[in-house]
A and B are shown apart, each in its own frame.
Chain A
Amino acid sequence: MLKALFAGTVLVFSLTTAQAADPSAEPLKPANPVLKLATTTSTDNSGLLKEILPVFEKETGYQVQVIAVGTGKALKMGEDGDVDVVLVHARAAEDKFVEEGHGDQRYGVMYNDFVLLGPEDDKAGVKETETAVDGVKKIAEAQAVFVSRGDDSGTDKMEKSLWKDAEVTPEGEWYREAGQGMGKVIQMAGELGAYTLSDRGTWLAYTDKSPLTIVLEGDEKLFNPYGIIAVSQKKYPDINHDGAQALIDWMISPEGQKIIGDFKINGKQLFIPDAGEDEQDQAEDMKEAA
């Protein structure tokens, strides 16, 4: 009965157009209110989750425990059944996660893009290039210092695919694998006057604190979609699947999507909500916008 009521509530929420919830309405207490979400540092460090999750918690009575790690580790936690739901950005790895039966279905939630950061004087001349692949080629040719995440995160996977497409094996004194989160890597690259690849969200949060600047952006290749996946209930019957689905439904509802779109740092929008849209179109939109 409670479940049916709850599903009904979720349905109502997803049907109503974006509007603030009635604060007097007491949320239904779910049977299992604790929900563990493994996500990437980019959604947490940017402050997005702190902005949106309290709204979800207030409306549904769930309490979301956020564990912020790299995408690779977040997916591993989902695979092991140590968390209920994952919010990550590495499309290929996400699809594999679902294919292998670790999760039910991937829902697109939002996107932003990656940017290549570098020192103001841009010794390698990346600014003159058009595409990210040419950009990293220039960096390799100039042997300019590049700080890599090196932690199998979504950003790291993107960076590796750029080197692969550029047919360059990044190695040598100029290529430094930090093995740290995005914020730390931006700091390190700033101190070293080096190049690095960052998601736009984290970069916006750091712009004021960093001597670096964007040397390349707007390449279709740098499109960065975020997906949310509930960990498979078939595999782990006692996982908090209702909670995971409630969070997903809320994130892709008009209300959740609006709150994501409204989230700004220094007046700049960080994530563009895109639930249920065709991602190819967005890649083109993004290219035009840049």
Chain B
Amino acid sequence: MIEKKGRALLLGDGPVITASAAVGGKKEGEGPLGASFDLIVKDPYAGEKTWEKAECLLQKKAVTLAINKAGRSPTEVELLFSGDLINQCTPSCYAAVGLGIPSVGLFGACSTAAEGLALAALLLEAGACDRAVSVTSSHFCTAERQFRTPLAYGGQRAPTAQWTVTGSGAFLLERQGSGPRVRGALLGKPVDMGISDVTNMGAAMAPAACDTLAAFFRDSGKTPDDFDLILTGDLGSVGHRIVQEQLGQEGISLDDRYQDCGLLVYDSARQDTHAGGSGCGCSAVVLAGHILREMAKGSLKNVLLAGTGALMSPMSLQQGESIVGIAHLVWISAE
């Protein structure tokens, strides 16, 4: 049953994440969370002709791995939620083609992982289906060419710039089974604080994360102390600091339990990733790999993920629009 408390949606026992899979690229595999990936695809082309096809392959691998891990077959899955960063989400479309699962394409920029999880959990809880998969992907090369400059172009990255994660994370959610449960969700409001600097996405998305987290603590009756870990999707070092400071000023102290997936996925000093990781794959691989493994071990019980996204396109930026941020939240509990 879904209990609506203000904007917070509480799911009672909630659907179970019975399996998840994280697929990463070479750089991600070399990062601090390398050991938590189910599969590392070292070749950025993944043996394909284009990077877009490579990203599609990563997504397909993540979905099939997650389904296989639970001992299920794709025919048993009733709904697929998928998304990525590329125009019209084509990597997701092509990845879904062979699977034969009814699909819902999502675009929430880098917040899509949390958005997909939230929607899948809500539909399961509402009884619309018994088994659903949520998957997202991003690829450094497909994102660079769409949003920035050609890969071989000689540019310098700003210290606030972030590095798009090459990877895909998939989650299988079921109404019955064992595993952590999705106990709550909150869907975010788009927030525009006038930031138009593409090399500082963390700053553009942080206000949305603040809004979502503040709304959740206000409406759900929970406090940060109820959670072992509070995560934002890909705010990087700048956005992490902003959320910490701004929520602190509103009397919500997150302290050390606040982390950002973009900061966890790379070792910025060693891997030259500046402010941290980003992309639809960022929070997906961190959650599907590292976090859910820790929850299975019992070292984490209650985790909040506010997936953050920058809703913009190269066209909107060239037309002088600022970057709209959004943050969708899911509460995952192993209790």
Q: Determine if chain A interacts with chain B.
A: no
Chain A contacts to B: CB under 8 angstroms: none
Chain B contacts to A: CB under 8 angstroms: none
